[in-house]
Structure 1
Amino acid sequence: MDMTFRWYGRDNDTVTLDQIKQIPNVKGIVWALHKKEVGQVWTKEEIKSEVDYIKSFGFHADVVESVNIHESIKIGDGDRDAYIDNYIETIKNLGEFGVKVICYNFMPIFDWTRSDLFHPLSDGSTALFYEKSKIEEVDPFDLFKSVSDATDLSLPGWEPEKLDRIQELFKAYESIDEEKLWDNLAYFLERVLPVCEEHDIKMAIHPDDPPWSIFGLPRIMTGEASIKKLFSISDSPSHCLTFCTGSLGANPNNDMKDLASKYAHRSPFAHIRNVKIYENGDFIETSHLTEDGSIDIAGVIKELASQNYKGYVRPDHGRHIWDEKCRPGYGLYDRALGIMYLLGLWDAYHYKKKELS
C-alpha cells in the first residue's frame, strides 16, 4: 500500500509538510485547492503551484480529495452541463500534472455530518461525535452555522457560501429521491469517465457519511447494495470506489472486512479509521486501534495485505490529543499514531506470509 496524508494547504492547515515528512513511510500528500469555490475550473497554474510545492518535500501528489461536485449536478438542473464542462476541464488539467485518483462524493448539501466536533473521550482526548437524537431534532441551518463557526479553517463540505442558500437548496431537493439522485450520478459519470480514461485518472466515489438519510435528503452510497448498483452504471476502469471504513462502518450491518475482500480491487484509494457504535445509533470516532472501536481494522488490513493492495491509503479522522489545536479530526498527532498502527499491522501480516512461504 502507498501511505498518504491528507493536507489542507499552506494557508489552511495547522500541520506542515515538514512535520508530515517526519512520519515514517508517508509517500504522498492528498490535496486539493480548498480555496476554490465549488464548480470553478482548477487552472493549470494553480495546480502546478500546489503540486510543485508538495513535490519539493519529496512527496507525490497523485491523489486529489476532493474536486467537489456542484449542487446543480446532483440536482440535475439547467446549469449542470456547464458545471460538468468545468469539471471535465479540471480533470484534463489535473491529468497534465500526474494526478491518478480523484476522490469525490455525491451527498446532497451536507458532506460528512456530526453533532459535536470536540466530544470528550474517557482518556481526556476529544473526537468527532454523532448523536442521533440531536441530528434528528436540530434545524439544518443551525447545525450548518455551528459547524462553520467552530473553526477559523474552512471545512470541506461546509463551505460558508452554502449558508445563505440552505432553504433554497432544501427546496430544490424536494423533487429528488434516491432514484433521481442515482440518475444524476449516472449522467455525470457518463460525461466524465471517458475523459478520465484518456488521462489515466480514477474517479473514486466516497461513501455517504453517515451512511443513511439525514434531514430527509436522499443518500445513495450506504452499503453493499449501493456499491453493486454503482458498478452497474459503468464498466469503465476509471469508475471506482474510495473504500472508507469509518463512513460505511458507522452502520454495523456493513462488515468492513467482508467488503474489503470483495471491493478492494475496485478501490484505488482507502480511508482507514475506527468508530465506536452505540446501541442507540450514536457513534464516536476513536483511535485507529481495533479494540477501541467497533470496526475490525486489523481484519481489514489483513485482507488488504492478503491481496497485496497497491492502492493509496491514508489514516482518516483522528482524535485531538496532547492539547493539539487543529482542524476537527485532522490534527497531526493521532493520525501519525494511526499510520504507525496501520503500517505495523501491514508489516506483521507480510512478515507472517514470508515465514509460511
Structure 2
Amino acid sequence: MRMTFRWFGEGNDPISLSHIKQIPGTEGLVWALHDMPAGEEWPLERIQEVKRQADAAGFHIDVVESVNVHEDIKLGLPSRDRYIENYKKTIVSLASVGVKVICYNFMPVFDWLRTNLAAPLEDGSTALFFEKAKVASMTPHELVAEFQSNTDFQLPGWEPERLALLSETLKAYEHVDAEQLWDNLKYFLEQIVPVAAEHGIQMAIHPDDPPYPLFGLPRIINTQESLRRLIKLVDHPSNGITLCSGSLGANPQNDIVSMIHEFADRIPFAHIRNVRVYENGDFIETSHRSEDGTVNIAGIVKAYYDIGFTGYARPDHGRHIWGEQCRPGYGLYDRALGIMHLLGLWDAYRYAENGKL
C-alpha cells in the first residue's frame, strides 16, 4: 500500500508541502488543476509546474483526482465528442510526467453532497454531515445556496461556474434515466480506456457519494453489482475503481471487504475513511478508527493486506480538530492521524504474518 495525501495546490491549499512531508510513510501527492473547467484540455506547462513542485519536496504525483467529466458527456449530447477529445489529450499530457492513475466520477450535476460542513461530534471536533430528510425537503437550488454560504473555500465538485448553470443542467437531465447514464458511461469508456492503456494509466471511477439517487437524478456507481457491471462495460485493466470506503459505507448493506477481494486487480486507488450511519439514514464522518463509526476500517485494511495490495491509498476526509482553520474535510491534523492509524494496522498485519508480534 503506497500512502498519499490530497493536496489542492500552491496558493489553493493552506497546508504546505513541508508539513505533509512530516507525515511518516507519505510518499505522494494526489492533485489536480482545480481551476480548470470540466471538459477543457489541461495545459502541459501547468502540469509540469506541479511536477516540479512535487519533485522539489520529494513527492511523486502518480495519482490525479480529478480530471472532471463534462456534463455533456454524462448527458450523451452531440458535443460530448469534443470534450472527450480534450480528455484524451489531457491523459497523454499527464502520462508524460509519470501519472499512473486518474480518479474521476460520473455523478450527474452534483459531486459529493453534505448538509453540514462542520457538524459537532462528541469529542468537540466537527465533521461533514449528511441529513437525509433535509435533502428530501429542499430543492437543489436551496441546498446549493446554503452549501455555498457555509465555507470560505472553493470545494472540488462544487465549482461556482458550474453551479451557475444549475437550472439548465437539471432540465437537461429530465429525460436521462439510469440506463441512459450507463450507456453514456460506456461510450465514454470505450474511447478513453484505449488511450489510457496505451499510455500506462489506469482510469479509476469514484463511487457515488452518498451512494443513492438524489433529487430524482440517476446515480449508478454505488453497489457491488454496479461495480461488477462497470468492469464489464470495457473489460480491460485500465478500467478500474477508486474504492472509497466512506462513500460506499454510507450504505451499511455494502460489503466493502467483499468488494476488495472481488475487484482486487481493478483497484489502483483506495480512499479509506469511516462514517457513522444512523438508523434514519443520516451519517457523519468520524475518525478512522473502526470503533468510532459504522465502517470496519480494520477489516478493510486487512483485506487490502491479504490481497497484496500495492496500489495507492489516502486517508480521505478527516474531522476538523485542534482549532484548525481548513478546507472542510481536508485539514492536516486528522488526515495525518488517519495515515498513522492505517499504516499502524498495516504494520500490525505484516509483523503478525512474519511472526514478529
User: SS of the residue aligned with 2:222?
Assistant: coil
Quick check: 1:305 aligned with 2:305? yes
- Quote the RMSD (CA, aligned, Å): 1.1
Q: Which residue in the other structure is 1:17 paired with?
A: 17
TM-score, with structure 2 as normaliser: 0.98
Q: Distance in 2 between matches of 1:325 and 1:264?
A: 37
Q: Which residue in the other structure is 2:318 paired with?
A: 318
> Contact 2:237–2:265 (CA<8 Å) still a contact in 1?
no
Q: Distance in 2 between matches of 1:237 and 1:167?
A: 38
Give, in angstroms, the shift of residue 163 of structure 1. Answer: 2.6
Q: Distance in 2 between matches of 1:138 and 1:14?
A: 32
Partner AA of 1:194 in structure 2: P
Q: Percent identity?
A: 57
1:13-32 deviation line (CA, Å, top 9, x unaligned): 11111100000010000000
> Contact 1:210–1:247 (CA<8 Å) still a contact in 2?
yes
User: SS of the residue aligned with 1:46?
Assistant: helix
Q: Which residue in the other structure is 1:274 paired with?
A: 274
1:107-155 deviation line (CA, Å, top 9, x unaligned): 0000000010000011100000000000111121121122223223221
Quick check: 1:168 aligned with 2:168? yes
Q: Which residue in the other structure is 2:122 paired with?
A: 122
Quick check: 1:105 aligned with 2:114? no
Give, in angstroms, the shift of residue 285 of structure 1. Answer: 0.3
Partner AA of 1:81 in structure 2: D
Q: Which residue in the other structure is 1:198 paired with?
A: 198
Q: Distance in 2 between matches of 1:150 and 1:91?
A: 34
Q: Distance in 1 between matches of 2:302 and 2:163?
A: 42
Q: What is the 5 A alignment of 1:183-222? A: 183-222=183-222
Q: Distance in 1 between matches of 2:349 and 2:307?
A: 11
Q: Which residue in the other structure is 1:92 paired with?
A: 92
Q: Which residue in the other structure is 2:242 paired with?
A: 242
Q: Distance in 2 between matches of 1:56 and 1:303?
A: 34
User: SS of the residue aligned with 1:280?
Assistant: coil
Give, in angstroms, the shift of residue 356 of structure 1. Answer: 8.3
Q: Distance in 2 between matches of 1:332 and 1:62?
A: 21
Q: Distance in 2 between matches of 1:269 and 1:65?
A: 10
Give structure 2 stretches of 5+ with no counterpart. none
Q: Which residue in the other structure is 1:263 paired with?
A: 263
Q: Which residue in the other structure is 1:327 paired with?
A: 327
User: SS of the residue aligned with 1:319?
Assistant: coil
Q: Which residue in the other structure is 2:77 paired with?
A: 77
**Moved beyond 4 Å, runs of 4+:** none
Give, in angstroms, the shift of residue 156 of structure 1. Answer: 1.1
User: SS of the residue aligned with 1:85?
Assistant: helix
Q: Distance in 2 between matches of 1:294 and 1:91?
A: 37
Give, in angstroms, the shift of residue 262 of structure 1. Answer: 1.6
Q: Which residue in the other structure is 2:252 paired with?
A: 252
TM-score, with structure 1 as normaliser: 0.98
> Contact 1:141–1:163 (CA<8 Å) still a contact in 2?
no
User: SS of the residue aligned with 1:56?
Assistant: helix
Q: What is the 5 A alignment of 1:336-351? A: 336-351=336-351
Aligned length: 357
Q: Distance in 2 between matches of 1:146 and 1:63?
A: 32
Q: Distance in 2 between matches of 1:102 and 1:275?
A: 25
User: SS of the residue aligned with 1:87?
Assistant: helix
Q: Distance in 2 between matches of 1:166 and 1:147?
A: 14
> Contact 1:145–1:163 (CA<8 Å) still a contact in 2?
no
1:260-295 deviation line (CA, Å, top 9, x unaligned): 222232100000000000000000000000100001
| More deviation, 299-308/105-114 | 299-308
Partner AA of 1:355 in structure 2: G
Q: Distance in 2 between matches of 1:290 and 1:56?
A: 36
Give structure 1 stretches of 5+ with no counterpart. none
User: SS of the residue aligned with 1:29?
Assistant: strand
1:278-333 deviation line (CA, Å, top 9, x unaligned): 00000000000010000110001011111221000000100000010000000000
Quick check: 1:30 aligned with 2:47? no
1:174-229 deviation line (CA, Å, top 9, x unaligned): 01000000000000001111100110000000000000000000000010110111
Partner AA of 1:62 in structure 2: D
User: SS of the residue aligned with 1:103?
Assistant: strand
> Contact 2:130–2:283 (CA<8 Å) still a contact in 1?
yes
